[in-house]
Structure 1
Amino acid sequence: MKINVYFYAAARELAGCSSATFELGSQSLPQEELRRLVSDRYPSLASFLERMRLAVNGDFVDASHSLSDGDRVDVLPPVAGGSPVVICEVRDREISLDEVRKAVEHPGAGGVCIFHGIVRDHADGKRVLRLDYEAHESLAEKEMTRVLVDVVAEHPDVRIAAVHRVGQLAVGDVAVCVAASSAHRNDAFTACRKAIDRIKETVPLWKKEWGPDGQAHWVNLDA
């Protein structure tokens, strides 16, 4: 298969070219693998690539979308005057803590606060073997974006990111990651706390707990 990659603005300067072709033996390619291939070929671009968006055949697609033969992929740096909400995503794969942290880091940030929500092995005095998270496909990210935008409006110096995972999670898995950066630590701490509290309160995400006896129940849904 052949993937045609085009670089724009700062991505073009870092890569040292405006386009490149990747020829591979597989029939499909995860976007994450393309990012790795681009990073390997263009080391100067590698440390910035996580902050750049990929457009496939002229459209923004979900990160889980796999690439096919003949696809055109545009590598797009953050736009001028970009939003302080740098990542807001609900995904069904493992959360990269480095991705979320790096997204909010910048030279003017004197403090970064990160919250990791991790699946624990108990709840209400009972053992928990795993959690199932479910989200409303279209509303979850919209509501989470609204939450983050509101937090930034209250703390204009903050840059913020949030990723929540859905699907089946085992004990020890990261279910949610929120990161906030600011010139001073107090704003970063406060913004991060507000964001995770409001995400848990208003975003249409549901959690089912499974115990060792095979019994399961939806959290906050009393019989």
Structure 2
Amino acid sequence: MQIDYPPLADFRKRVRMAVNESIAPASTILDDGDTVAFIPQVAGGSDVYCRLTDEPLSVDEVLNAISGPSQGGAVIFVGTVRNNNNGHEVTKLYYEAYPAMVHRTLMDIIEECERQADGVRVAVAHRTGELRIGDAAVVIGASAPHRAAAFDAARMCIERLKQDVPIWKKEFALDGVEWVANRP
């Protein structure tokens, strides 16, 4: 690909390639049906809360993950399934994900959000599977010594999640079913 697309030379320095959910060298020969992902370099701590699950989400778990004696403000964002979208009466949603890449990408986003200001902590939980109206689809928590940094980190996290994380949403409405593109 690099021969056909020279700009990829710089791109390769900043990402790792995964084939079928395993890190692979750039020289890997692909077979029909292989799944390829380009994963940004990630560095993360062991105390980071990042969860992808088909079980109901816990706001308390996310809040506990970002709490601490030096944190003066905490923001919790809960994205829930609503009963309408663009004039369609929604009955339920179904979320699918590429789990290995979701974890790596969320860890990178969390790290980026935490670098925005001293003392920021971020935690993320996202659902997969079938969700009904009112169910929590995503819970994001951000805390910081001061409230402004916590609000900024929470907003940055949800915007980046919607833009970069490989989670797809199928919307079931009274007038049909469709995969819905993520929008910031």
Whether the 8 Å contact between 1:91 and 1:164 is mirrored in structure 2 is yes
The one-letter amino acid paired with 2:179 is: W
Give the deviation of 1:83 after TM superposition: 3.5
Residue 58 of structure 2: which of 76, 86, 96 is its match? Answer: 96
More helix by share: 1
What's the TM-score once normalised by structure 2's chain length?
0.72
- Cα distance in 2 for partners of 1:85, 1:128 equals 37
2:157 matched to 1:195? yes
Gaps of 5+ in 1: 1-81
Equivalent residue runs for 1:18-167 within 5 Å: 83=45, 86-167=48-129
Residue in structure 1 matched with residue 23 of structure 2 by the alignment:
none
Q: Following superposition of structure 1 onto structure 2, how do residues 165-180 of structure 1 map, counting pairs within 5 Å?
A: 165-180=127-142
Moved runs in structure 1, 4+ residues, more than 6 A?
Answer: none
How many pairs were matched up? 139
Determine if contact 2:88/2:174 at 8 Å carries over to the other structure. no
Q: What letter corresponds to residue 203 of structure 1 in structure 2? A: V
- Greater Rg over alpha carbons, structure: 1
Number of the residue aligned with 1:219:
180
- The answer on 1:185 being equivalent to 2:147 is yes
Q: What is the CA–CA distance in structure 1 between the aligned matches of 2:104 and 2:135, rounded to whole Å? A: 24
Counterpart amino acid of 2:173? G
RMSD: 1.7
- Cα deviation, 1:77-111, whole Å, max 9, x if unaligned, reads xxxxx949630111111001111111111111110
TM-score, normalization: structure 1? Answer: 0.60
Q: Which residue of 2 aligns with 1:206?
A: 168
Q: Quick one: higher RCO (CA 8 Å, sep 6+), 1 or 2?
A: 2
Q: Give the share of equivalent positions with the same residue, in percent.
A: 39
